[in-house]
């Protein structure tokens, strides 16, 4: 007994020492000091093993539960900080558009008046303003620059997501070990840590989505019902796709209730009969669907114009594949890391599904109808996510899959903890595998993006921000600008019209300058010499600006280079 207690204390100390070293590593990276990648992985491995050991050896006390849950939450925060902390400005590209909404609302108020001088994308994003308004409020209360709030607010929001996810598992299965183990797997999920570290509307919408699932899974008193309604309204004001998924989930529960009512007395499901009648997800399905659908549709009607625009885009994607149809080879590239990541996650999905099915058919102990609900829902969403790469090219499957994969993790964890102990150790492999998927250049300066496979840098350099600032101070907003997708994100979010996906843009970056007269400025980034993202996404092969093309830029009398800071060149077109 004392030996076990001593080993747990040693694991806790090891975790916190390693965590401090991990944060120190990120700070060194932020200062531009490069450390051997082996040092990073040594720290991470100790963190995983120390945390996993505490979960496996959990003694059932409330104090131990609080300590381990706290470690899981700060582990989640640490993974999110890997994206947020080391780089200047906001991580990735889309967040700059959402931050443009923060600036627009700060200047013009909300709703944005028709006279507001903003580009169409900023105006569209402002229709879902919860994240942006929250950023302004926190900035005012904390007396912090809004860009700092935007940088770190997603870390706090996603940490709350982690806690609600834990509560879903614990409330559904009454098993603390399963809850801790499943939450650790969830918070290490590559797609989750990447997208939900970003200052984008999905981040806060997903938190409320998970919160709603938790509320639906528990007994609801008056205060809980009020929180439930507030959470639905919050999703409605956060993000359109999450709203749509939430409606689908509530509809799925009604359909599931109908079929389970018909099948619950069969030999296959008879053991689930008691839980079926007590299950809160099932029994509250009609009411929850009514509240969710009414609230969301009411807001969609309020912003009717933009709602119809979203539906029109969805129709084009489904019927015409306007952004080009492509296969999963877009993700299964020749890169060994990406191939392992793509096929490895499919393998894990299959293993998860098999373990849950085995538990449903052969498993002993209490039977939970939640297993079936989450397995079917998660399986459908994951399958549709991969199919969407053929049918709906605008939708990133890695974003869509986050509404399904976590539910498979929940049901699989509940099943696996009932098996013999050795199988639990697959979670060490799962967590390490998810961390392996993180591009090395994000946590070590010795590496570069996989340009040869059409990849690109997910963050902006200080020189790029300086160039964008120069551009904003010296170029009228009405000028037509030609540049790549990254320039569209950085310069476009400053309300410039950057043409990045037209055929003329592709031709200019290939060296055919016939369409040059249509524009007033050309933005050329140093990264374009390795991989220039121009044209329709996933429908245009990667373009590289060659020496010959660059020579044409310098020789053409219609254009003159007026700005160059080694990372970005701005050409004025006469």
Confidence of residue 494 (pLDDT cuts 50, 70, 90): confident
What's the pLDDT at 280? 81
Q: What is the pLDDT of residue 538?
A: 59
Sole residue written with tokens 């009609």:
286
Residues 170-188: tens digit of each pLDDT:
988 888 998 999 999 999 9
Q: What is the 3-state secondary structure (H, E, C) of 398-430?
A: HHHHHHCHHHHHHHHHHHHCCCCHHHHHHHHHH
Q: Give the mean model confidence (pLDDT) for residues 116-135.
A: 92
Residue 351 pLDDT greater than 70, yes or no: yes
Residue 222 has pLDDT above 90, yes or no: no
Residue 561 bridge partners (DSSP): 571
**What residues contact residue 87 under an 8 Å CB cut-off, 6+ apart?**
30, 459, 460
C-alpha 113/C-alpha 104 separation (Å) is 10
Say whether pLDDT at 163 is over 70.
yes
pLDDT tens per residue across span 21-80: 999 999 999 998 888 999 999 999 999 999 999 998 888 899 999 999 999 999 999 999
Q: How confident is the model at residue 391 (pLDDT cuts 50, 70, 90)?
A: low
Residues 562-573 have a mean pLDDT of: 94
- What are 482's strand-pairing partners? 499, 522
With a cut of 90, say whether residue 233 has pLDDT above it: yes
Answer whether the bond into residue 111 is a cis peptide, omega within 30°: yes
pLDDT recorded at residue 333: 44
d(CA 312, CA 290): 25
Evaluate if pTM is beyond 0.95: no
Instruction: Band the pLDDT of 7: cuts 50, 70, 90.
Output: confident
| Highest averaged pLDDT of the listed ranges 120-124, 306-310, 419-423 | 120-124
From residue 295, alpha-carbon distances to 38, 225, 323, 574 in Å are 51, 14, 32, 52
Q: Please state whether beta strands 497-499 and 559-564 pair in parallel, antiparallel, or not at all (unpaired).
A: unpaired
Mean pLDDT of 6-34: 93
């Amino acid at each position: 007994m004392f030996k076990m207690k001593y080993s747990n204390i040693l694991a806790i100390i090891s975790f916190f020492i390693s965590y401090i070293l991990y944060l120190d590593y990120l700070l060194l990276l932020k200062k531009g000091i490069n450390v051997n990648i082996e040092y990073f992985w040594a720290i991470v491995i100790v963190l995983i093993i120390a945390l996993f050991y505490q979960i496996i050896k959990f003694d059932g006390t409330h104090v131990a539960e609080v300590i381990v849950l706290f470690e899981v939450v700060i582990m989640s925060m640490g993974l999110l900080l890997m994206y947020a902390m080391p780089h200047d400005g906001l991580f990735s590209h889309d967040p700059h558009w959402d931050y443009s909404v923060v600036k627009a609302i700060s200047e013009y108020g909300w709703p944005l008046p028709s006279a507001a001088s903003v580009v169409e994308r900023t105006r569209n994003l402002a229709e879902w303003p919860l994240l942006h308004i929250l950023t302004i409020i926190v900035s005012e209360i904390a007396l912090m620059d809004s860009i700092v709030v935007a940088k770190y607010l997603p870390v706090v929001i996603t940490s709350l997501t982690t806690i609600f996810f834990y509560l879903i598992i614990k409330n559904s299965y009454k098993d603390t070990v399963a809850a801790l183990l499943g939450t650790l797997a969830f918070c290490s999920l590559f797609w989750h840590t990447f997208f939900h570290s970003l200052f984008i509307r999905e981040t806060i919408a997903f938190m409320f989505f998970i919160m709603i699932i938790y509320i639906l899974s528990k007994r609801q008193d008056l205060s809980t019902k009020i929180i439930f309604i507030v959470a639905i309204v919050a999703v409605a004001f956060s993000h359109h796709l999450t709203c749509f998924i939430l409606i689908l989930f509530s509809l799925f529960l009604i359909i599931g209730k109908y079929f389970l009512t018909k099948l619950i007395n069969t030999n296959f499901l008879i053991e689930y009969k008691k839980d079926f009648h007590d299950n809160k997800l099932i029994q509250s399905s009609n009411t929850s669907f009514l509240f969710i659908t009414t609230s969301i549709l009411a807001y969609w009607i309020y912003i009717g114009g933009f709602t119809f625009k979203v539906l029109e885009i969805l129709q084009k994607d489904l019927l015409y594949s306007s952004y080009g149809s492509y296969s999963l080879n877009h993700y299964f590239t020749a890169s060994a890391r990406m191939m392992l990541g793509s096929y490895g996650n499919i393998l894990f999905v299959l293993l998860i599904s098999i373990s849950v099915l085995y538990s449903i058919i052969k498993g002993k102990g209490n039977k939970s109808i939640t297993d079936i609900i989450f397995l079917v829902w998660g399986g459908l969403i994951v399958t549709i996510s991969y199919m969407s790469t053929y049918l709906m090219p605008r939708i990133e499957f890695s974003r869509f899959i986050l509404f399904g994969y976590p539910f498979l993790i929940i049901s699989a964890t509940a099943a696996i903890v009932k098996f013999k102990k050795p199988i639990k150790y697959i979670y060490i492999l799962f967590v390490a595998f998810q961390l392996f998927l993180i591009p090395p250049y994000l946590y070590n300066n010795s590496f570069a993006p996989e340009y040869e496979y059409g990849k690109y840098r997910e963050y902006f350099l200080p020189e790029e921000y300086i160039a964008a600032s120069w551009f904003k101070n010296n170029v009228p907003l009405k000028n037509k600008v030609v540049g790549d997708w990254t320039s569209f994100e950085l310069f476009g979010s400053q309300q410039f019209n950057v043409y990045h996906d037209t055929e003329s843009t592709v031709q200019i970056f290939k060296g055919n300058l016939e369409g040059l007269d249509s524009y007033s400025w050309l933005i050329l980034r140093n990264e374009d010499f390795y991989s220039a993202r121009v044209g329709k996404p996933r429908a245009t092969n990667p373009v590289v600006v060659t020496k010959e093309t660059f020579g044409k830029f310098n020789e053409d009398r219609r254009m003159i280079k007026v700005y160059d800071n080694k990372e970005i060149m701005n050409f004025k077109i006469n």
